[in-house]
Structure 1
C-alpha cells in the first residue's frame, strides 16, 4: 500500500516544574534557597528526508509526543530539557491544521526542518525569587504546557515531468523504457495504483530529469470520481506535463477525445495546471490504424505537435527524450 494522506495528533513536551528547596547542612541550619529551575519541554520538529517514500509511519501510529522537561531539584540543580521529537516525512509533504484546513508548511527540500510545535518553558525554582527583602522565598512556578494540535499530512510528488494519461495508455511501459524505474506492467487498466518516480539520465548533458507516472485518470476525476483528487494532486508540482495517448484505441476511445478530456480534467481541478507547458506523445504506433488518429489530431489541434512513439519497440524514444530536455531547458 502507498499512503499519501494521513491525520495525526502531535504534542510538544511540557516544561518541568520549578523546585522549592533550602540549604540544610551541618552548622548551617538556616541556609538560603537552592531550588533549581525545571527543564524546557522537547520541541516537535518535521524533517524532509529523501529516503522516506510515503506517510506509512504516521498512518499506523497517529499520536506523537516529545519528552517532557525534568523538574528542578535541590542544591541548585536545574532539570534536564526534554528530547525533541523529530518526524521524518517525504519531500513534498504538505501540513494543514485539521479543523481549519489552514496550510501550516510544506517540506520540499532534503533535510529541510520546520519547528512545528514548541515545548513548554520550565518553571522557576525558589532560588530565582531570592532578593534583599525576600531572603527565604517559598514561591516557585510550574512548567508550561507544551503546544499540541491535530494535523493532516498530504504528500504531493515532486518531479520535473508528470506523465498523464487514461488507463492502459502505456505510461508504466514508457517510464520503464526511459528511466531506471520498474513499475508493475500488465495489459489491464489501473495496473498502476500509486505514483512512481523514475530518473531519466542524460549523460552527454550531465543532467538527470525525474518523471512521475501518475495512475490513470478517468472522466470526472476533477470531481473526485474514482480516486481523482488523490491522483491529480501528484502533478501539481511538476514543471512539465507529458500527455500520453493510446493511438491504438485499445479500449475503444478516440485518442483525440482523450486529449481534450485530460486537459479539461486538469483545468477543472486547478486552473493553474492549464498554464503549465506540456508535450503530447502518441503511443502504440506499432499497432494498425494509428496513422488516421495522428492525422485527425493534427487537424483538430493544428498548433500542437504530437510525437508518435512505440514504448514496447522503443521507437522514437530518443526523439521524445530530446524534446523533454529541450522543453525544460
Structure 2
C-alpha cells in the first residue's frame, strides 16, 4: 500500500496521512512516498524504490496507490496504464464543489473512490463510499498538559480558533465576532493559533489593525503557529470554526475530542460532525453577526457549555475514533485485493 504525499506544506490531507499511516502500518504494509517532509513516525518509501513497483508484492496480487490529490492520481494512472505496474488506484475526495473536467477525467480512472462526507460525495459522478475522517482520541482528549499562558489569559475563559490566517479560513469573521461579544464579557478572551504565510501577511496586518482600533489588543490574541495544538484545544472553553470554504475540516473534531463545544459556519463536513444543539452549533451564514449570536449563548450559560462539552467528548469517542476510519479504509483495500464488486466493478467501469 502506497499513500503518496506530494505536497511540501502542511495541509489537511497531509495531516490525515500523518495521523493514519502510523496506525495503518500496524495492520498492513503501507508507506508514503514524496518529499521528505513527514514526521519520522510515518513510514516512507524512497524514490529509488520505484523500479520495485514492477514486481508484484509477495502476499497480494497488486499494490494499491491511494491518492488524495490530482497530482497524485495522475502518476498512479501513468504507472498502472502506461508503465504497466501491478497497481490499483484509490482516490479520496474531500472537495465541496463541482470538480473540473480534468479532475473528473482522473477520478473516472480510479478503481475505487472514497468521499470524506456525504456532502463531498454529492459532487462525485461515480460510485463511491463515504468514509469520514476520525481523530486520535489519545492525543486529543481533556487529559494532558496545558499550554503556557500569557499573564492576561490566566484565570479567564478562552474562545479559540485555529487555522491558517487567511480570508478563506474566515479569520476576519472570527475577529469581528469577538470584537462584538467580548466587549461586555470581561471574563472572556479570544485566542487564534495558526501560521500566516507571506501572501496573506497584509490580511493579517489588517486584522491586527482592526483589533487595535477596537481596543482589544490584550483580549484578542494571534499567537501564531504553535508546536502542538492539542494543549490549546484542551484549554479552550469554546471553539469557533469560521471558514468560508473547507474540504472536510478536522478542527471541530479535535476540539470536541478535547471536551470543547464548537460553533461553526456551514462549511466542510461540519454539519455532519456537530450534533446541533448538543455538541455545538452550526450557523447558516458566513457572518460575524451569526457567529457572535451563537457564541454568546455558550459564553453566558455555563451549564449549557458544560453539557455540550460532555456530549461532544462522548460523540467523538463513539463515532469518530481514528481506528474506525483506518478500519473502513482497510475494508476498501481488502475488497480490491479480493476482487469484490461493492463500489466499482472492474477497471473497465471507469469510463461508465
Q: TM-score, normalization: structure 1?
A: 0.27
The structure carrying a bigger helix percent of its residues is 2
Larger Cα-atom Rg: 1
Q: TM-score, normalization: structure 2?
A: 0.26
The structure carrying a bigger strand percent of its residues is 1
